Chain A
Amino acid sequence: MRKKVQLVRHVPLLLSALLAACKPLPDDRHHMPGASAERGREAIERVGCGSCHVIPGIRWPKGRVGPTLGGLPRQALIAGKLPNRPDELARFVRDAPSLVPGINMPAMPLSSEEARDIAAYLYQMDAR
Chain B
Amino acid sequence: MLEGWPPPIFDPAGPFAGSITTLAWVLLAMAAAVFAVVMAALWIALFGNDRLKARLGGDWVIWAGGIAFPVVVLSLLLFYGLSLTRNLSVAPGADEMRVRVTGEMWWWRVAYLDENGGEVVLDANELHIPVGEPVALELESNDVIHSFWVPRLSGKLDMVPGRRNVMRIQADKPGVYGGQCAEYCGGPHALMGFVVVAHRPRDFAALIQAWQSPPAPAQSAGTARGERLFFSAGCAACHRIEGTRANGLAGPDLTHVGSRRTLGAGILPNNRGTMMGWIGDAQAIKPGNRMPPYHALSGDDLKALAIFLEMQK
Q: Hey, which bits of chain A sit against chain B, CB under 8 A? A: 42, 45-52, 61-66, 104-109
Given A51-B278, A104-B303, answer yes or no on A63-B285 (Cβ-Cβ < 8 Å).
Answer: yes
Chain B interface secondary structure, helix, strand, loop or mixed?
A: helix
B239 at the interface (CB under 8 A from A): no
Tally of chain B residues near chain A (CB < 8 A): 21
Contacts of B268 in A (CB 8 A): 48, 51, 61
A42 to B1, CA, bound (A): 7
Q: How far is the CB of B308 from chain A (nearest CB, A)?
A: 14
Chain A interface secondary structure, helix, strand, loop or mixed?
A: loop
Given known contacts A51-B273, A65-B281, A104-B299, what 18 new A-B pairs fall within 8 Å (CB)? A45-B1, A46-B269, A47-B271, A47-B273, A51-B268, A52-B276, A61-B268, A63-B277, A63-B284, A63-B285, A64-B281, A66-B277, A104-B300, A105-B273, A106-B271, A106-B306, A107-B272, A109-B271
A105 to B281, CA, bound (A): 15
Q: How far is the CB of B106 from chain A (nearest CB, A)?
A: 14
B274 at the interface (CB under 8 A from A): yes
B15 at the interface (CB under 8 A from A): no
B280 at the interface (CB under 8 A from A): yes
Q: How far is the CB of A104 from chain B (nearest CB, A)?
A: 3
Q: A48 near B281 (CB under 8 angstroms)? A: no
Given A42-B1, A46-B2, A65-B302, answer yes or no on A106-B281 (Cβ-Cβ < 8 Å).
Answer: no
A105 to B303, CA, bound (A): 8
- A109's nearest neighbour on chain B, judged by CB, is B271
Q: How far is the CB of B285 from chain A (nearest CB, A)?
A: 4
CB within 8 A of B272: which of A42, A64, A66, A106? Answer: A106
CB within 8 A of A108: which of B273, B284, B303, B306? Answer: B273
A19 to B303, CA, bound (A): 54
Pick the 9 closest A-B CB pairs, nearest first: A51-B277, A104-B299, A65-B280, A52-B277, A106-B272, A61-B285, A51-B274, A48-B274, A63-B277
